[in-house]
Structure 1
Amino acid sequence: MSEHSEILENLNTLVIKASKEAKFLYANTYWEELLGIPLQHIKQVPFYELIHPADIKATEEAFAAVLVHGQPVIGFRNRYRKSTGDYVWLEWTARLDSEGDVVASAIPCDEKVALEEHDKKASTLLRQSEGMAKVGHWSVEFESGELFWSDEIYRIHGVTKQNYTPTVDSAIAFYHPEDAPRVSQLVSEALTKQSEWEFTLRIIRADGEIRHVRSQAKISRNSSGEPTSVFGIFQDITEFIKLNRQIQKLSKVAQTPATGVVICNKQKEVEWVNQAFTKITGYSIDDVAGMNLARVLHGDKTDQNTVEKIRNGLAKDENIDVEIINYHKSGKPYWNNLIISPLVENGETTHYIGFQNDITEKKTREEELLNAQKVSLAGQMAASICHDFNNILSILGASVELISLKDKEGQYAKLLSKASNAVNRGQSITQKLLKTTKISSPSLEIFKLDDFLRQEASLYEDVIPSSIDLQVDCMADLYVECDKNAFADVALNLIINAHKAISASGKIAVKTRHERHFNALKTYTFCKPKVAEDYLVFSVSDSGKGIAQSELNNIFMPFYTLREDHSGHGLGLSSVAAFCDKHGCGITVESELDKGSTFSIWFPKAKEQKKKTKPRHAKPSTSLSGVRILFVDDERDLVALNKASLESQGAIVYDFCDPQEALSFAQSNADNIDIIVSDQTMRGGIQGNELIDLIKRVRSDIPAIIITGVSSASALSDCQYPILQKPVSATTLKHAITDNIGSV
């Protein structure tokens, strides 16, 4: 064996000499060691039989390039089969020798191929990752100033490697004109001072689109610590910026409205609330985070049926819309319109979002409207009853008076006295009932309420037994405008009710105070006062048995009473409600069982007015002799009785039950009429005040009197004629007639 042959045999390199027939003419022993195949077999078969099928074509082409074209081959790779059936990668260097054969050497390169494959996959994954994250990487060499961009940075800028070669200056030119100076300064400082940076600015792509980008730079150094390059990342964050702005807008939307918003997890535990929620409930996110709101917002007045409805709806993941009483952090109850919707992801409920609206004001208005409607309806019924009842009382009263005139010897005096008293009692009841309606118009007067109460104090002491301590404490010193007589009845009603609420001994306090604003916290409000700058609050408190909260809605209704013996007519508080409605006052009630009640009337403050001096008239005649009276009423019996009574006093009476017939008569005989006496509410279309107005078109100086069974009806609020309330006695009617004839 020659020296060269010995060297070839001991090399860890594969060496061969191949013929044109693709057979090894020579192969060193390393082949047998590497493949595990006898060297003799390797030389006998065409080497294509040992090559991986997928590499045969490429091997044929490389072999032909050397053999036919004489081109050397460097770095060609293929795979040879081992005795185990596995394949080994070989990297070849081949040339044509002087004899026309191919000589070549190869080294195993499995590890190199695996490493290159790994690098290839890593490079692919890097490109894919950069594309998904919209993040690229770049570098600038200190010595050459050469700029490198990864594929993603080309894409972000809207250019390709084929049509653009990046340089530092051209890359800076992509930035928005407002941002480019800052980028230029940062790059310069990085290259000269080795400064690092991180910024978020704008670029303008090749197509003109503006994109928001984030760039970060670090200095790369060699083992000696010397800077070699600036390396960095470059990320397109345009979509993130847009999303962040949208989130900010949505956050502002969630925080801005008056609607409270709360988000809870599947376990109904609070995760987030907005500012409106805090304003409505008083609770911040720190107060309720991780808590179930039912434990925080529910209280004694919270309806358990509604709570159960909410629970069932949540269990079924249904939308919920309820009105429920919740409690503020301060303990004050409020009405809440609660809407809850499940948030569903991938078919499963993950959260609940709740919307809260404080509807206390709305519910209060609804309750006040309902109370007003109840009072109005009761008033209309009362007015209708009173009209008919007063007509009956008028007939009875007139009949009693006529019988009394004929009973010269007084044979029926006692019976007539009882009948007269019964008529008066009936009249008293109808007057009380009418005070509960809106029909009557108050006779307004401006006065100091404190002075009036001090004057009435002795009357209150007379009706209250000595076992009850009555205190009158007037501290307001303000003027009010109301019907003084009506208020006297209201005050007396409240004091008597306070007395009845006390079983034996106790206290009643009558007070006035000055309030700047209407404040009904922790009290029941039946109706609010009209808006004013100041209020005088008149209150009556007792130490009696108190009133259940469930009864407060009913106590101001006519004929409703809480007295166990059902004494009284149940008209006292309804007349108080009617008084307040007519005068624009408010009513509040504070009551607790076994501790007592406080009823408060809120008067808008009135300005003091100087008293006007009424003119004096000459004393009228007291005789009806020869007085010609046009008397109109749709109650035939009442007309007949009044005609008989008036004629017995010397009057001449033209009586009519039909107002249309009365009008026709008056239009033809106006000069023969001294005074008109007419009922107000009549069948036939024409009412009393309308009838008088029509007659006065013929003769304007005729005096007139209106009689009504429903107090001063609303149609008479601006009436200039005297008004008499039925039943009217003969004496009252006589004086009214003579007074009006005498004042003309």
Structure 2
Amino acid sequence: MEQNQYKELFNRSSNAILVIIDDKFFDCNAATLKLLGYSNKQELLNKHPSDFSPEKQPDGRFSHEKANDLFDIAYKKGSIRFEWDHKKADGTIFPVEVLLTVIPNGSKKTFYAVWRDISDKKWSEQILNSIINAISDPIYVKDETQKYIALNDALLNLVGLSKEDMMNKSIHDIFSHKRAKIIRDKDDTVFNSGIEHTNKGIITDAKGHKRIISTKKAVFTNEENKKILVGVIKDITEQVENYKEKEKLKNQLLQAQKMEAMGTLAGGIAHDFNNILSGIFGYAQLAKNHVNDPEKATIYINEIINGANKAVELVQQILTFTRKSTQKKKPLRIYIVVKEAIKLLRASIPVTITIKENIHSRAKVIADPGKIHQVVMNLCTNAYQAMIDTGGILSVELKEIKIQNQRHTPRLNLMPGNYIRLEVKDTGQGMTRKTMNKIFEPYFTTKAANNGTGIGLSVVHGIVEEHNGYIEVDSRKGQGTSFKVFFPIIQEKTVVETAKPEKNILSQGSEKILLVDDNKNILDTTKKILEYHGYRVKSFSNVMDAFQVFKNNPLKFDLIISDVTMPGMTGDIFSRKVLDLRPDTPIILCSGFNENISEKKLQDIGIKKFFQKPVASNELISEIQHIFSYNNEPASKNISECFSRCNNLIPTHQH
């Protein structure tokens, strides 16, 4: 291409083009004159770029010195892109973007500058900055290199940095390497996928306080067809703390309601216990009277054992209902819980009230047994209290229903599917529409003072929602009330049941057992049962004494049976100390009630078996035989290790 053709392209280009030699304007095209508002080249030639910059520059951004620095950088690198403010012939100041490129020209510094008016871009940026600064949530915008190209004051206030500290800088320029890498990886995921993403984290704000934040990120394409990432940060610290407080209050409400219900049931529980104890005392006296008649004595003793088992079942029901520890949801056959609750309630209800059960379903739902128990107890308690003066019928029904269409249950808006429906119905005084609208409000009650706090139904409503269920109330004044609770049924897998192996006949043993329990009655009876089956037993009511004896000779005992809650040292700590001395020691722990002992904790310690007291003697002996049958290796296999551990623990004496 000839020189004249180059000249023609130069003059006709829509981009403003300048040729600069030795820091002076040497030539320009028509687009440059138009952009600056000059009529001919002579007015521009031999001028320095800074001559067309604003006169007053307190920060020196567009000074002669700054311009020379940019030319030096371009000369060394070959080219540079930067933004500059120019002044038109009429004095108007406007921003331009300049691409300054070096042209080989002997010893002269020759540059080719292509530049454009970016007023619209700057105006857009100003609008963007105004908009994001008007938003109270921290906001930032990053380019494809993950440099901050826009951010608002809320973000600067949160992190405690200035705009100069962050603008046009990457996260690696601002944060620690570890934190920057975490942010970079998350941003890369959003950039590459183009999918909106929200993540939560904890940061330390400008005042040194830990804040919980949620950051929502999304990718957009700007007017230059380049990807930009926009992040919006929400400070959710207060929200999280409020949620925790709400959960705490909710748990307190649940526990308080349980206690209220237990107060209602106290009379019935006492009635049941007294009946059980009366039977135990009666049969004990009969057994004593017939001590010389083994056949009759055996019959009476078996009845005593049956009475004790009934007492155990009643205690377990009470513990299930009152225990604070939250159970995890699991597949549950609701009918078992319903029958348990009715059994517990039956003795509390006056004889003028008849309980009718209509239990058809054996289906499973995903539920917390304790909370379902609480729902049943609440609904039944409310029902019989509505009839306490007049008597009547308390009906409890459990059946499966199939919802084909939401239109079939317009008030509940149930999704189509299979449900188990629990209905608790009474023939009491009923409720008005006004009362029905308030029954699920906490502390609302129609009962007289001191007869209830009114938190039961609000708790029921919360539990039902928590289990993805629905509750419906139907009542008319003078015609009774019906509560229907719907829980979604889960599909069961078909399981082929195999015949259970017959229990091993209990045989005589000969091993040596260390027995520890601070309760003298339990210690004595357990020792006698073990000795009856041939075992040699060393018993201790003081756990510290027991440990000292074991420490003196860890190989002396084949098994340890210990209580959990004891003064001086708990059973789990005692077990850890024993296993530190001799890791292969089989240990059985027993407890009357201890919420701090979980199955996982026992496994971590190395406990062979855990029993909830009272322990049936045949179950205990069977478990001991099972342990010994799988522990055939000689106890001396770790002799050297045991003695090494003991020598480190037992004080030595100088002679």
Larger Rg: 1
Question: TM-score with structure 1 length normalisation?
Answer: 0.35
The structure showing larger relative contact order (alpha-carbon pairs under 8 Å, at least 6 residues apart) is 1
